[in-house]
Chains A and B, each alone.
Chain A
Amino acid sequence: GAVVSQHPSWVICKSGTSVKIECRSLDFQATTMFWYRQFPKQSLMLMATSNEGSKATYEQGVEKDKFLINHASLTLSTLTVTSAHPEDSSFYICSATGTDDQPQHFGDGTRLSIL
């Protein structure tokens, strides 16, 4: 089946640094990738949708300059949390799909802890 790999699975860093999370589709071409954020005991919240070769579409309330998304190829999207602060600590999950009529395939998530 379709596999999405997310890396790293866990990262701890100091406040003020930038952190990059990678999301790769291993065996299919992902025309669309999604980034979610999940707080403890809460829903996955869609942050943004990215299509290969174009700018990401951010959901209302998500800071574009804070969460930089790049989808430069059909197999890779990256989320960079810039100048991270403790309130950015969360679980970030990506998903990918080849076409709109196919289910999203999810990565295992990245736990980000900002000290």
Chain B
Amino acid sequence: GNSVTQMEGPVTLSEEAFLTINCTYTATGYPSLFWYVQYPGEGLQLLLKATKADDKGSNKGFEATYRKETTSFHLEKGSVQVSDSAVYFCALSDHGYNKLIFGAGTRLAVHP
């Protein structure tokens, strides 16, 4: 069945450092790929998405490219801020936004 694997956290960075959170997936067919973020005390929010191979999703300085050849959707940001501290979830779906399959989540802590 479909699955998502993302790097274990926590990831601890200093402000303005470069961020990469790895995400790989297993799927039959061509799923849509998502990154969700959960800030402390809040629900999950959609951060960005990509619906087909080579698409790049971007939002708030974050970006991720749908790589079919490596079945990956790594999240990157060139310069993180303290306010980016949160848990990041990679997810996929064969049905638009429905039936999301999530990775385990990666906690990011950014220090001043």
Q: Which residues of A contact B (CB under 8 A)?
A: 4, 6, 32, 34, 41-46, 49, 93, 95, 97, 100-109
Contacts and interface: CB of A to CB of B under 8 A. Distances in A.
Interface string B20-63: 00000000000000001000011111100100000000000000
B109 interface: no
A107 B104 contact: no
Contact of B44 (A41, A49, A93, A102): A93
A101 B97 contact: yes
A100 B90 CA distance: 19
Nearest to B93: A104
Contacts of A97: 97-98
Contacts of A44: 44, 89, 100, 102
Contacts of B98: 32, 34, 49, 97, 100, 104
B43 A4 contact: yes
Contacts of A42: 104
Contact-residue bracket for chain B: 20 to 34
B104 A108 contact: no
Main secondary structure of the interface of A (DSSP, over half): strand
Contacts of B101: 43, 46
B43 A103 contact: no
Closest 8 CB pairs of A and B: A106-B43, A106-B44, A103-B46, A43-B102, A44-B102, A108-B43, A43-B104, A103-B97
A108 B42 contact: yes
Contact of A100 (B42, B45, B96): B96
Contacts of B97: 97, 100-104
A52 to B, nearest CB: 15
